[in-house]
Structure 1
Amino acid sequence: MSYCFHAFCVTVARMFLVKRVVCVRGIVWLQCTSLPLRNFSACHRLGSPKRRSPYSSEDSERYSSLVRSVASCRVSSQTPETLRAEDELVYGRVVKAAMPSTKPQTREPTRLHPFSLSQKTTDTQEPESEPPVRIVLNRGQGGSSAPSVTRILQQTLSPEQTFYLERWKRRMIEELGEDGFKEYSQKLFSQGKLFHSTVDALLTSSATGTDEHPLCLSEVQGYMESISHVLEDVSAVRAIESTVKHDTLNYLGIVDCVARYRGVLCVIDWKTSEKPKPFLSNTYDNPIQVAAYAGALNDDGNYKYQVDHGLIVVAYKDGSPAHAHQLSSELMLQYWKTWLLRLEKFTVQRSCDTSTALSEKR
């Protein structure tokens, strides 16, 4: 009996608690004291043909050297620490580069023009009992040719802002068509203009003490209900729809309102939106616009006071409470620096366009 077959029998005997294995004349007898063996036969295993290995047909001599090399290979005793030390000895120490910062680098304007003028102090404030100032913009002959704040911001959008704006426009055109999108844009513009006119008339009547209240049309009734809780905290209106100009930086704008909000003098900007904007970041470039208006007002000689706070009021057509985002003096200074960078970018672009136009004429 071969060694392998004997080992197999011993293993089976252990499984069935066999006491001993006896081989007489080639016949295996399993003697068990605790469990009887029933239905056990080794005939199938003894009589079944030997299964051929799929590698039996291969030329073993051809790969004998490979087998010997693999079988004789010793397991390396090196550890990750020893491998690292060996790499440092051969290739030098590994210099770990600093991870790139995900925080965008803050740029500073080339010329940091002051946000407010020192000669305008709180001692020279205009009397709040006077009616609100309304300086009309003159673009005609002899008028100002300075670019507006809105134009400068539109022409200095970042690539990311331009991408999202164009994508929104394409989606709206696909949904409404060219004519439908044009009609939709005109409707939004007319509603915004009517809303501003209604707010201006209401603030003017309250500032002058007249009892006449403007007619609230159905198109803007929801917007007016939306800002009703904000108007309760607005007092001492100084200016309404009035032009402000920065002579040194050569730009102008039209402020919606200058008044006190909860006792603090602010440049107030009224906005309408179809989507909720509960956070200041949802207002995109509006804080920069307010800071630009305030900086122009502080430089404009037509106003004898200065403003270092802002307020952005977002009204909703469905009448839900408007979001009022206050801008502290610290935030206004930050957005003022951003405005100066956008203004520098606009100036460079315009000079490049002028040079290109002159070269084309030649």
Structure 2
Amino acid sequence: MKVVSEVYFTIVICSYNPDDRLLQRCLNAVSRLAHHGFGSEVLLVDNNSNPPLANRLFVQDFLNTKPDSKIIVAEQQGLVYARIVGISQAKGEYLVFFDDDNEPQSDYLIEIHALNQRYPAVAAWGPGTVPVDFVDGIDSRIKEVAYGALQGKRENYTAFACLRQWQACYPFGTGLCIKANVLAKFMEWFNAGKLTATGRNGVSLASGEDLQMVMTCIALGYAAGHSPRLQVVHVIPGKRADMTYIKRLSYGSNLAFHTSIAEVLPEYAEVVNSQLHRPRRFAFKSAKRYLSALLTGSPAKMVNTINYIGAMSSLYRLYHLPVPKIVTAILKHAKLL
């Protein structure tokens, strides 16, 4: 079989103070990834973990059994900085990003390679199938909303697009695969200060850097999509299987949404202007929805409310407007500020 490239895929695993059980599952899954006619390397990026990843025996075992793997350290805190370090040292034509709580199916690289060959205009792929494994269990009352908040997916078909607004088929960070030349442009823009999303940073659950990587594909004229042929299990421990974490994650993800896209595609700010609610309407809808969620005790209503407040706050941030005081009070009551 003809070898496509000496290093076709660079697998980048970014980690900060991981749950050892999850990281070990991730590394075991990466060790089982099949290769048919192409090579790969693994970069394990330590974003200041304490203790360092290199001090963990199972990490050393992984490195010793995979000569095409190494640990690199990203000293500046924040997921985007870890990813930038990985991008800067990658040798592959495509980079595949796994978080330390991701468990890819063994044929993941084979399926991406097949998709790349069939759809050369698509520069970013993500999994269409993302089961969520709550390893320590979860309250059945919040399981469904947690599934959605934690990027669970059950798609039935391959889809992609090249539209300059976010589409349902565009991939998130879990299992994200992107062409190296696109990421070179992303890194150039980030280093120049054009892009500001830092991703998760310590205890902060803000996001946006994965969204900006995908939208860079679109800005360069490529398409992005997902496929059910790509499967990654998202492994969630008990400390992240509660409403406190889900609310923080939902708020952080939505808060970064509009501003992150507009930094990549400046015309986007004009496109979404009609979605902006005036302060009185924003405050009224937020208060009404939040009170209803509290009175009914509905996890779905609460997450929908937080999603609304986060997304609208993102628009206010985009247009440099102050968030209404009532909304700020709600966020403080919900322990999101």
**Higher CA-based Rg:** 1
TM, length-normalised to structure 1: 0.22
TM, length-normalised to structure 2: 0.23
